[in-house]
Amino acid sequence: MLRLGRILPNGGISVAAVMLVASVSSPSSAGAQQAASGCHPAHQFPTVKQGALTVSAHPSLPYLDYDQATGAVGGVDGDVLKNIAAMECLRLDLQVVPGAGALQGIESGIFDTSGAGWYITPKRTEVMGMTQPFYYDFTSIVSTQGYASISQLKGKTVGIVAGSIFVEPLQQMLGSDHVRTYQLADAVMNDLLAGRIEAAVLGSGQAGYLAQHKGGNLKVEKAVSEQGFDAEQQNGKIGFPYPKTNAALGKALDDDISTLRENGAIKSILERYGMTNPNNYNPAQ
């Protein structure tokens, strides 16, 4: 149901500052929905806008989906955020911000959090808060040849999403001239299918979902560990970022994630979007 307007050549979105105001209650004709009356929030914490959880959204299935026509929000991150908003009696206010800009808005305090399958990394925790992981992603290589290691990609042109955790290590291993960055994973896969690049490096959920829906003779392989490619890239911990100054929001998000893991909601959401590998839910399994 991903309908975001025309994708520009650089992977951007033609609609300017597309904004969705949504919540978990019944929709109104205007697309703006309010939290249910008489609701009792699980926590108390400040937000950018009173009564709303303001989210910078970087749409890319299976992590987050947005239907511009209906205002519907989906994807793993989207469904978890809808559950959290319901628990905290907040409406969900999504603003589509492609690429790394979604995280820059967290640092500057414009947004409360962001949904896009964001990895928890040391560099990110230096400038923003990150919740506990609520699911896990592992590095996948997409190609027609079945490449399974980064060393096999030497001398080849490889596509990657700008702002991804994979950019720096790939540039170091393959050389910057062989690493092409895009704003959206969809654009990476389009160039792969067109033969303009020879491989793509994406998270397991995104790689599997797009390869399945794009068609073509694409193979998705789990990347193996090797020199220069450490374990963090192999099993990425995915969480929600939030402003470092809002510790109360961070605690509420952590508590709500724990509740949704305990009641089975997160596992059900992952399965809904095809993330059925046990490593996506608990890498210890």
Q: Are residues 217 and 170 in the same domain?
A: yes
* Structural domain boundaries enclosing 214: 139-234
CB-based contacts of 218, cutoff 8 Å, min separation 6: 142, 143, 144, 189, 192, 193, 211
Whether the predicted pLDDT of 67 surpasses 90: no
**Average pLDDT of span 73-85:** 96
Cα–Cα distance, 176 to 268 (Å, whole number): 40
Q: Are residues 208 and 247 in the same domain?
A: no
The structure tokens 């400038």 sit at 127
User: Would residue 6 count as lying in a domain?
Assistant: no
CA-wise closest residue to 240 among 108, 135, 122:
135
Q: Are residues 122 and 253 in the same domain?
A: yes
**Average pLDDT of span 169-181:** 95
Q: Are residues 119 and 29 in the same domain?
A: yes
User: Would residue 2 count as lying in a domain?
Assistant: no
User: Would residue 204 count as lying in a domain?
Assistant: yes
Per-residue pLDDT, 233: 52
Whether the predicted pLDDT of 215 surpasses 60: yes
Q: Are residues 199 and 259 in the same domain?
A: no
Q: What is the pTM of this model?
A: 0.69
Q: Hey, what are 236's tokens? A: 């990425």
Give the β-pairing of 52-57 and 179-182: unpaired
- CATH number (domain holding residue 91): 3.40.190.10
Q: Are residues 102 and 45 in the same domain?
A: yes
User: Would residue 93 count as lying in a domain?
Assistant: yes
Q: Are residues 149 and 54 in the same domain?
A: no
Half-sphere exposure (Cβ direction) of 155: Cα atoms closer than 13 Å: 1
Q: Are residues 117 and 63 in the same domain?
A: yes
H/E stretch holding 221 reads strand 219-222
Q: Are residues 223 and 251 in the same domain?
A: no
Per-residue pLDDT, 35: 59
User: Would residue 7 count as lying in a domain?
Assistant: no
Q: Are residues 163 and 255 in the same domain?
A: no
**pLDDT: is 229 or 115 the higher one?**
115
User: Would residue 5 count as lying in a domain?
Assistant: no
Per-residue pLDDT, 284: 57
Cα–Cα distance, 87 to 77 (Å, whole number): 15
**Average pLDDT of span 40-54:** 97
User: CA torsion sign, 245 to 246 to 250 to 251?
Assistant: positive
Half-sphere exposure (Cβ direction) of 222: Cα atoms closer than 13 Å: 11
Per-residue pLDDT, 8: 27
Per-residue pLDDT, 139: 81
Residue-wise pLDDT for 222-276, tens only, equals 888 788 776 345 568 999 999 999 999 999 999 999 999 999 999 999 988 878 7
The structure tokens 């959204």 sit at 57
3, 69 Cβ separation under 8 angstroms? yes
| % the chain with pLDDT above 90 | 54
**Average pLDDT of span 127-148:** 93
Q: Are residues 115 and 204 in the same domain?
A: no
Q: Give me the number of domains the chain comprises.
A: 2
Q: Hey, what are 256's tokens? A: 């709500």
User: Would residue 4 count as lying in a domain?
Assistant: no
Q: Are residues 37 and 156 in the same domain?
A: no
User: Would residue 71 count as lying in a domain?
Assistant: yes
